[in-house]
Structures are given as C-alpha cells and as structure tokens.
Amino acid sequence: MKIGIFGTGMVGRTLAERFIADGHQVMIGTRNIEKTLANTEPDLIGTPPYYQWQENNVTVQLGTFADTANFGEMIFISTFGQVALHAIDLAGIEKFDRKIVIDTTNPLDLSGGIPPSFAGAIGNSLGEQIQRHLPQAQVVKAFNTLSMHIVVNPQLEEGVPVLLLAGNDKEAKVKVEEVAKGWGWKDVIDLGDIGEAFYMEASALLWIRYAFNNASWTHAFSLLRK
C-alpha cells in the first residue's frame, strides 16, 4: 500500500519507518522540500534535522503536501496541530476524496512554553475540523494519545495499553484497526463518531503533560473493565 504522511517530525518519521519495515511504500510531505532538506536545526521538541534521518531512510520519498496527498492511498496527518488545516489546504482538498485520513494531531498551545496547554473545544476538536474540511474523506482520529514509538510497537512488559479511535465511517475504522493489530495492538476501542475526538485530544494532553513533567515518554494508558 502507498502511505502518505504529512509531517517531517518524529511522529511522521516513526510511522514511516514502521510502514517501510512492513513492506509499504511511503512518502512524507512537507511545505518546502528544499527548505526541509537544508535545515540544520532541531525542531521545537528537539528532533534532529530531517536530512540526517533521510540519509538513513533512503527508501522514504520526500514530497510536497500535494505530492503526498496524490501518492497516498491512506494518508496520515501528523503535523503540529496548529498547521494541520493549512497543510491540507496546500495539498488541495480534492486530493483526499474517498481516502482514509488518519488524524494523529493534538490542539496544543505552546505560547506559554513547555509543557503545552490545551487549545481544543467541545464540538470543534481538530478531528472534527479536519473531517469538516474534508467532507469526501473518511477521517479517523487515532494514534494521538501516546508516544509514536509505542504506537508502532505496543508490546510493553508492564501491561497492555489501550488504543482509542473515533470516526464517522465504520469501514474506515476497521481498516485503521487492522493496521494497528498488525503492529501488535490487542485492545482497540472504537469510541464512536468523530465528535469523540475532543475527548481523545483532551486525554492526550494528560499524557503529554505527564511526559514533560516527569521527563519520561514511555508511559501508556490502559482501561480496566469487565
């Protein structure tokens, strides 16, 4: 399968590495290819410059957002949350029609520094905004509530974490769940329609603030139930 990933940061890179290892073709999208490759500084959270990673991952293609939307049969939106809609606009909304779009973003407010605060609102989560922006796409909110290195390899010796997802299209959610189970996920919970994305984004902030406050990115949530 051809996988398109918006975002050159750690989230996009980790997804790309896993999909390549699983035998898929991958293109990562960026606003400006030349600028991305020329950058020598780490990003806001200290991720090394993209060109260093690309040298060790030569099978991953780098394209514009438009290139990546055209390329991907399944598309991941993994940019910083505040630029997600702009990246989609740069790609061209029509390029997402009839495709599964997985939204991994969170509405974080970094204006006050680290750890970030929450910029979401009930009824206007990023997941809902993206679905409204892409009415002909099947948007699934997923993979936003824990570290991406756990997302692609959820085998934790401490226990079994829970993976949450939400979206309006049941078939799209089934396909996303199939991807997750291929990575080893055993506890996947479908919360319902895309309106549930707000609560996923809010729970993600709890995970993120704990991570920054404790300098630890290896924790995950589980749900105990009968």
Pair 126, 107: CB distance under 8 Å: yes
Tell me, what amino acid is at 226? K
pTM: 0.95
Summarised one tens digit per residue, pLDDT across range 133-162 is: 999 999 999 999 999 999 999 988 888 899
Output phi, psi for 103, to 5 deg. Answer: -95, 110
The region that residue 113 occupies, defined by phi over 0 for left and psi between -120 and 50 for alpha, beta otherwise, is left
Placement of tokens 């399944």 in the chain: 74
Domains, the chain:
2-214 (3.40.50.720)
Which among 110, 134, 72, 76 has a CA at the least distance from the CA of 209? 110
Give the CA angle between residues 125, 130, 131 to the nearest 5°: 100
Q: What's the average model confidence in pLDDT over 72-99?
A: 97
Summarised one tens digit per residue, pLDDT across range 158-183 is: 888 999 999 999 999 999 999 999 99
Q: Give percent of the chain with pLDDT exceeding 90.
A: 85
